[in-house]
Amino acid sequence: MTDFKPPLALRAATPSGWAAAALADPEALLSDHAHCEKKAALTALNLAKHLGDMPHAPALLARLADEELDHYRRVLEGLQLFGWTLLADRGNAYAQALHRLASKGLLDQLLIAAVIEARSCERLWLLEQGAAAHPTLGYAPWLAFLLELERCEAGHALAYRSLAEEKFGLAALARLDWWLDREAEVVRAVPWRSAVH
Ligand SMILES: [Fe+2]
Ligand SMILES: [Fe+2]
C-alpha cells in the first residue's frame, strides 16, 4: 500500500478500519456518493455567482461543476450496473457540521469546499485500498473509477484554496489553518456509516 498525500494537510487521518465499515453497504455508499456529487456540482455553480469579479473564476467553476456532474452520472450508472437503486438522501452530517461553524461568508464557503474535497480525496483513496483488498466484493470495475475520482477531487481542493487565496489574500491562509483544525474535530466526531463522509 502506497502512502496517501492529501491535497491539503488534513490534521486527522481516517483510521484504516473505516473503509471496511463504509463498504459494508455498497448500495448505500454509492447512493450517498451520488447525492454528494450532485451537491458538489451545485456548490461550484453557486460559488461562481459570487466570483464574477475574478475573470477566470466562473469558467473554472463551470468546468469543476461539469466534472462533478460527470461523476454524478457515472455513480448513477454504477448503481444501475450493480442492479441497485438510488436510495433517499440521508443528509451529510459532516458537511452540515462544517457549515454550522461558518461565519465569514464567501471565504468560509470556499474553504469548506476545499477541505471537503480534500477529505473526499482521502476517503476515496481508502475505499480504493479497501476494495482492492477484497476482490470478491465485485468492486474490480470500480477501482479505476475511484482512482480517477480521487485525482479529480484533489484538483478541486486545490482550485478552491487558490480561489480563496486570490480573493482574500493572506486572510485565506490564516482561516484555512483554523478550518483544518475544525475539520479534524468534525471528522473525528461524525459516526462511520456507508458513505464517503
Ligand atoms: Fe466529484
Ligand atoms: Fe470535487
Q: Is the pLDDT of residue 1 over 60?
A: no
Closest CA to 46 of 5, 38, 172: 38
Prediction pTM value = 0.94
| Burial state string for 9-42 with b = 16 or more CB within 10 A and e = fewer than 16 | ebeeebeeebbebbbeebebbbbbbbbbbbbbbe
Ligand 1 geometric centre to CA of 102 (Å): 22
The CATH number of the domain holding residue 113 is 1.20.1260.10
Q: How many domains does the chain have?
A: 1
Specify if 10 maps to a domain. no
pLDDT at 140: 62
Residues with CB under 5 A from ligand 2 (ion): 40, 117, 153, 156
Structural domain range at position 147: 28-86+99-189
Using pLDDT thresholds of 50, 70 and 90, give the confidence band for residue 8. very high
Ligand 1 geometric centre to CA of 37 (Å): 5
Ligand 2 geometric centre to CA of 152 (Å): 6
